Chains A and B, each alone.
Chain A
Amino acid sequence: MLKKTTIISIILIVLISFVLISYQSKGLLLFNKIHLYSLFYPIDYLQNFFNELLKTKDENRDLKEKLYKMHLQISSTNELIEENKRLKELLNLKERKKEILTIAKIIKRGANKFLKTVWIDKGKKDGVKVNMPVITINGLVGKVIFASEDFSEILLITDPNFSASVRVERNRIEGVLSGAGTNLCLLKYIPLEEEIMVGDRLITSGTDGIFPEGLSVGVVRKVDRKRGVFQNIEVVPLQSELKIEEVAILKSLP
Chain B
Amino acid sequence: MKHFFKWAILTFSAFFLEQILTIDGLTFNFSFLLVFLFIIDYFFPKTEQKKVYPSEILPLCYFIVVGLIEDLFQGVIGPAIISKSFTGILLMILVRQLFFNWTEIFKAAVILTFTVIDEAFYSFIVVYFFNYNISYLPLIKGFIVKGLINIPAGLILSWRKP
Contacts and interface: CB of A to CB of B under 8 A. Distances in A.
B39 to A, nearest CB: 14
A244 interface: no
A146 interface: yes
B78 A17 contact: yes
A161 B27 contact: no
Contact of B76 (A24, A36, A181): A24
Contacts of B82: 13-14, 17-18
A2 B89 contact: yes
Contacts of A3: 56
Contacts of B24: 110
Given A1-B93, A17-B82, A36 B20 contact: yes
B93 A2 contact: yes
Contacts of A1: 93, 96
Interface size for chain A: under 10, 10 to 19, 20 to 34, or 35 or more residues? 35 or more
B73 A35 contact: yes
A21 B25 contact: no
A141 to B, nearest CB: 15
Interface string B45-73: 00000000000110010001000000111
A5 B85 CA distance: 14
B78 A18 contact: yes
B91 interface: no
A31 B72 contact: yes
B129 interface: yes
Interface string B113-152: 0000000001101110110111100100000000000000
Given A10-B85, A21-B78, A33-B75, A114 B127 contact: yes
A110 B77 contact: no
A115 interface: yes
A21 B27 contact: no
A109 B60 contact: no
B64 A111 contact: no
Contact of A36 (B19, B64, B71, B129): B19
Contacts of B93: 1-2
13 contacts: A1-B93, A5-B57, A10-B89, A31-B75, A33-B72, A33-B73, A40-B20, A109-B22, A113-B122, A114-B127, A114-B132, A160-B133, A161-B132
Interface of A: 1-3, 5-6, 9-10, 13-14, 17-18, 20-22, 24-25, 31-36, 39-40, 109-116, 146, 160-161, 178, 181
The 10 closest A-B pairs by CB, nearest first: A160-B133, A33-B75, A110-B25, A17-B78, A21-B78, A110-B22, A25-B129, A6-B56, A181-B135, A20-B78
